Amino acid sequence: MITPRRSDDRGKANHDWLQTKHTFSFATYRDPRFVGFQRLIVINEDHIAPSSGFGAHHHDNMEIITYVISGQLEHKDSMGTGSIIRAGDVQYMSAGTGVDHSEYNPSASQPVHLLQMWLLPNKHGHEPTYDQRHFSDDEKRNKLRLIATDQAGVDALVIRSDAQLYGCLLDAGRTVEHALKPHRSGWLQLVSGELDVNGVDLSVGDGIAVTNESALNIAAIHKSEFVLYDIAEA
């Protein structure tokens, strides 16, 4: 079964320096139909104005993935990490027993556009960790590029949640497929373009929950960018 989550139906907030859309219930936005999906509990699409950002704040027992679409974001945390993440970079922070961090757009002129996604960890109470990697357009073009997984020894970020995250840049007219094993579900979030997924049309900002499906056939109607989660069912 495929259940669309249309872009225009997402929660919205405008804080002048931050324009954000919430796929799932977040902060003061509440939608009992969309409080998360399996282990995936946050997908926020953020536009952060130049010379603005989130001051230091706390997280614990959460797996946080930031996928930068355009611009750059400066990250500092209580583990001593300081980094700049740019378009094509993916940041992973496992909050574990607790971490404070800030996120700031260092550009004086260019907004930063990103997806921030939170997953529940496999277990609580581990030490916080941080990692980031760059995934080039060529790596993602017309194929599903594994970005994050809980399986060690692969060419991807290693996370502490039973999920795999893929990224893809799909040219118009091209198709990719993904098989879902039993007891696995999927979530696809469309960053740009237009897709047909198993006969369901998706436009920019749309997402879909995928349950009780053995495979996804993902066809680009227009040039598209998307992320895809393969997640263990709760």
pLDDT in tens, 31-90: 999 999 999 999 999 999 999 988 889 999 999 999 999 999 999 989 988 899 999 999
- 228: domain CATH number is 2.60.120.10
Q: Contact at 8 Å (CB) between 57 and 102?
A: yes
Residue 234 has pLDDT above 90, yes or no: no
Q: Which residue did the predictor score with more confidence, 81 or 147?
A: 147
pLDDT in tens, 90-124: 999 999 999 999 999 999 999 999 999 999 999 99
How far is it, in rounded angstroms, from Cα 169 to Cα 182?
A: 27
Q: Give CA torsion, residues 64, 194, 205, 208, to 10 deg.
A: -70
How far is it, in rounded angstroms, from Cα 234 to Cα 220?
A: 30
Residue 142 has pLDDT above 90, yes or no: yes
Rounded average pLDDT over 183-212: 97
Q: Contact at 8 Å (CB) between 13 and 27?
A: yes
| The total number of structural domains that make up the chain | 1
Q: Of the candidates 23, 26, 47, 20, which has an alpha carbon nearest to the alpha carbon of residue 37? A: 23
Tell me the pLDDT of the chain averaged across its residues. Answer: 95
Residue 221 has pLDDT above 90, yes or no: yes
Residue 214 pLDDT:
95
User: Which two three-digit tokens encode residue 182?
Assistant: 């039993």
Q: What is the full DSSP assignment across 170-225?
A: E-TT-EEEEE--TTEEEEEEEEEEEEEETTEEE-TT-EEEE-S-SEEEEEEEEEEE
Residue 199 pLDDT:
96
Residue 220 has pLDDT above 90, yes or no: yes
Residue 182 has pLDDT above 90, yes or no: yes
Q: Contact at 8 Å (CB) between 148 and 159?
A: yes
Residue 55 pLDDT:
87
Q: How far is CA 9 from CA 14, 189, 207, in A?
A: 15, 14, 11
Residue 70: which domain range? 2-232
Q: Of the candidates 150, 65, 151, 160, which has an alpha carbon nearest to the alpha carbon of residue 122? A: 160
Rounded average pLDDT over 174-203: 97
